[in-house]
Structure 1
Amino acid sequence: MAQLFSQRSRHLQWRRLWLLLVGLRKSLAITTDALEQMKQHLEVTDQDFETARAEELIRRHDVMAHVHAFGAVAPAAAITLIRQQAAS
């Protein structure tokens, strides 16, 4: 049960949601490369958490910090993720 409500699980669900949203919004002109990068980086790593912590100090918004952290590991999708701001 603790794993289900862990930080890692929550952020994995965010990434799955963002991938789904981007896939549904073909009008954003997302490339196949961008979708593949997102799929390859769905699992949240310790480095992703470090990146998100640094981003949160700048942005003061936890979800947007994780959007930018995801964009760091999936650069082809970064602009689309940030532009759509599927944050809140």
Structure 2
Amino acid sequence: MPLSKEDMNSLYAELLNRLVESGEWDRIKAVLEAKLNETGWKDQVKDQAKEQARQMEDLSFQVLLDKIKPTAEGKPGFVPPRYVLNDME
């Protein structure tokens, strides 16, 4: 039987708590950030976000995120989470 949304949120919170307490959360973040910097992805997305923000009349973070997210996820260098975990093993 699939988990309810409440159960899923509870499971997520527990997992995140364990990762933070064990120090694994910081390790995962460091590996991911290194990969994104190494490929230039972070700078490309930052530049794209700046350009989009300059063109927006009313600046809104959510609108900006919605505009750049599809492109950012499709850019070379985007590292899906499963690859980060593979590199950590």
| Shared fold per TM-score greater than 0.5 | no
- Bigger Cα Rg: 2
Shorter-chain TM band: under 0.3
Q: TM-score, normalised by structure 2?
A: 0.27
